A and B are shown apart, each in its own frame.
Chain A
Amino acid sequence: MDHPHEHCDHCRQHHELRVENVGVRYREVEALSNISLETSCGSCVALIGPNGAGKSTLLKAIAGLLPLATGQIFWRDTKVAKWSHEIAYLPQRENVDWNFPITVRGVIRMGRFPQAGWWKPFSKADESAIQHAIDLMNLGDLADRQISQLSGGQQQRVFLARALAQEAHVLLLDEPFTGLDRTTSANLSHTLRKISHEGRLIIASHHDMTTVRELYDEVLLLRKKQIAFGPVSEVFDESRLSETFGETIHGKEVA
């Protein structure tokens, strides 16, 4: 891994995300507690843990979708209170109704809502940001297709394009690789690396243990609580993994 912040084109300083002692509750049930991490633009962070470990919950908390029971989240030294166009949330693909009558471009345009607002027609800047995102994600041929015609990898690229159109610095991805075949996964990895190298922070929940090392810079191991957080080379090892998953896996893919 080369210097992660070198390409940060948003500004010349580090953009930092600080998660301090965060906990989330659903009614009486504790979903997440004591999560603390510090990372910044240019990094790819994997969230790893068994089903129900709170990966999605943490992503939603950072996106401002869930109230925090404890702790605080800071982005660029400002408390994340609600939403920010700088933080994009990319849901699991299966949570979206792909039969919704809308085109690829239509979905990507939604990313400009923070800039364009409720009524204003899209400005030139909006349109060019949208087109730029479409080009970057290689969606030119698909832009005017219905989203119902997309494959899994294309669906994921549409989400990424929306986040780019939004001019997000932080991309929170829930299970981006689930259901993709080998080639598509490899392409997506490449795209994610590229996006982060350009100076964005990628945080993704991840299941395939075999690809963690090549894909991510940092990893958060969690199981309702934080097991460990740090650079992949230091933290991602056999003993911590078995602590995270109990005795269920040994460096293999889990469903």
Chain B
Amino acid sequence: MIDWLLEPFEHSFNQRAILAALLIGITNGYASAFVVLRKSALKVGSLSHALLPGIAVAILIAGLHDWSAFLGSLFAALLIGLGSLAVARGSRLDQDSALAILYTAAFSGGIILLRRLNVTQEMESWLFGNIMGMTDKDLWTNFWISAGALGILTALHRPLLMTLFDAEVATTLGVPVRILNYLLMAVLIIVLISSLQAVGCILALGLLVTPAATIYLLTDSTEALFWGGALLGGLASTFAVLAGWWLDVEQGPAIVLTLGAVFLIAFLFSPKYGVIRKRRS
């Protein structure tokens, strides 16, 4: 039993996977508070899908490297995000509709392209993650992304919160709302990319929404939303990687499924905002 429990810690690829899950979980969990407060889960979901076609085009142009996938996905998400803004400004359509059109079209193109690039194996990983395939270099990349994202988000905590609470009032108090909104979106995209290898571009959204959404049902404190989200994200991801090994389940989906299960528990049993508590009172 003990051997079985300790087994995942013996292999170096497993150790890397556990570390990666912890890092990604904490960063995504912290950032998820912004997504929840901004009520922009749909937008972030669209952008996460936009990562895939970016990878496809990058491979087509530059071949398959770590950096080509990274730059390609970053570029695609920015292009589609800004493109949707441009369409919304230049037409009667709202930004969400524009975003939906752009990302589904791009995603379709990405699928078609990737199937012809002979990278079927990798495509599976980009879609659903492959945290066991993490190299030391990947881990370091992840570390720097996490440190950078957390650094920026905590440093700008005060003006960002003001922007999210009431953008107009924030503007009249001297907060550069528009720049901060773009910056926040950019950081969220980079956080999404950091979790690409672990959970893939489709499930990345779960990691970037569920932790803080769960905490939101448990507490009213803003601070708890951020650090509780980080804690939950880190713990749940780490646990899921271990559980995935013990139960022989794919780790990427296990992470998002674990978070979903915790959310369901909070949704039902939260002492303050749980459904069951509300029924009783």
Contacts and interface: CB of A to CB of B under 8 A. Distances in A.
Interface residues of B, number: 24
Interface string B164-193: 111011111111000000000000000000
Contacts of A89: 168-169, 172
A interface bracket (residues with beta carbon within 8 Å of B)? 20 to 34
Interface string A7-34: 0000000000000000000000000000
Nearest to A87: B172
B171 A65 contact: yes
Contact of B173 (A102, A106, A166): A166
A101 B158 contact: no
Interface in B192-227: 216, 219-222, 225
A22 B72 CA distance: 48
B37 A88 contact: no
B169 A91 contact: yes
B187 to A, nearest CB: 16
B221 A91 contact: no
Given A101-B222, A148-B220, A96 B158 contact: no
B155 interface: yes
Given A100-B37, A118-B158, A111 B173 contact: yes
A64 interface: yes
Contacts of B219: 101
Contact of A83 (B158, B159, B172, B216): B172
Most buried by A among B156, B165, B216: B165
B162 interface: yes
B169 to A, nearest CB: 6
A49 B173 CA distance: 28
Contacts of B174: 83, 85, 113-114
Given A89-B168, A113-B159, A101 B173 contact: no
A64 B168 CA distance: 10
A100 B165 CA distance: 7
B173 A91 contact: no
A113 B225 CA distance: 22
Given A65-B172, A83-B173, 9 more contacts: A60-B168, A63-B168, A65-B171, A83-B171, A89-B169, A90-B169, A101-B216, A113-B159, A116-B158
Interface of A: 60, 63-65, 83, 85, 87-91, 95-97, 100-102, 106-107, 110-111, 113-114, 116, 118-119, 146, 148, 162, 166
Which 9 pairs between the two chains have the least Cβ-Cβ distance?
A: A89-B172, A113-B173, A146-B220, A63-B172, A83-B172, A101-B220, A83-B174, A101-B222, A110-B162
20 contacts: A63-B172, A65-B168, A65-B171, A65-B172, A83-B174, A85-B174, A87-B172, A89-B169, A90-B169, A91-B168, A91-B169, A97-B165, A102-B161, A107-B165, A110-B169, A110-B173, A111-B173, A113-B175, A114-B174, A146-B220
